[in-house]
Amino acid sequence: MNEGRKMQLKVLKKTSQELKFEVEGEGHTFWNLLESVLLEDDKVEFASYNVPHPLISNIIVSIRTKEGKKPEEALQEAVDKALQRGEELNEAFIRALEELNK
């Protein structure tokens, strides 16, 4: 994410099973991760992001869920899971460095 800047979101479409929004100032790295984590969820029917123009850092994110799960809920769970994985990676990296330095 961009240091010192808040992510700007603009909701383009929202229904009980679909959410489409535009994100300003974020790139492929973050959304590619979120897309993969979203697609691990059995209740997520569709998740993708699109970069409409390579010179503008706005991304369009689309999420469609199956009956019984709201897309916002799926997104929040994916963010939480991605953060947890980042923490686990950081801990494993620190342990590996400590072992290397023994």
pTM of the model as a whole? 0.82
In 1-102, which residue ranges form alpha helices assigned H by DSSP?
28-39, 71-100
Indicate whether 69 belongs to any domain. Answer: yes
Greater confidence (11 vs 102) lies with 11
Range of the domain at 77: 8-100
Compute the average pLDDT of residues 79-91: 95
Residue 21 maps to which CATH number? 3.30.1360.10
Please write the tens of the pLDDT for every residue from 49-82. Answer: 998 877 777 899 999 999 999 999 999 999 999 9
Asked, for residue 2, whether it belongs to a domain, the answer is no
39 in any annotated domain = yes
User: Angle of helix 71-100 relative to helix 28-39, nearest 10 degrees?
Assistant: 110
Count of domains for the chain:
1
